[in-house]
Amino acid sequence: MLLDDIFDKLDDSRMHKLMEMVSHHDFGQIFITDTGKERVTNIFNKINVPVTLFDVDNGQINHA
């Protein structure tokens, strides 16, 4: 599933619930795009779910 720039469209409560729902291991692979690395990190830290972050800069992909 691709969630593209979703953090600007939902309030904190809905975002928290959505991330909890899609974080279950039976949900599958999730890709989330956002311009705020700290925002993504904070949300997943709150629900105690590990994530792998990648920075894309000028077409180059770097592990964050």
> DSSP alpha helices (H): ranges in the chain?
12-22, 37-46
* pTM of the predicted structure, to 2 decimals: 0.75
Q: Tens digit of pLDDT for each residue in 11-31?
A: 889 988 999 998 877 878 889
Please state, in angstroms and rounded to a whole number, the distance separating the CA atoms of residues 23 and 57. 26
Residue owning tokens 């920075």: 55
Residue 19: exposed, middle, or buried by beta-carbon count in 10 A (0-12, 13-18, 19+)? buried
Q: What is the pLDDT of residue 61?
A: 93
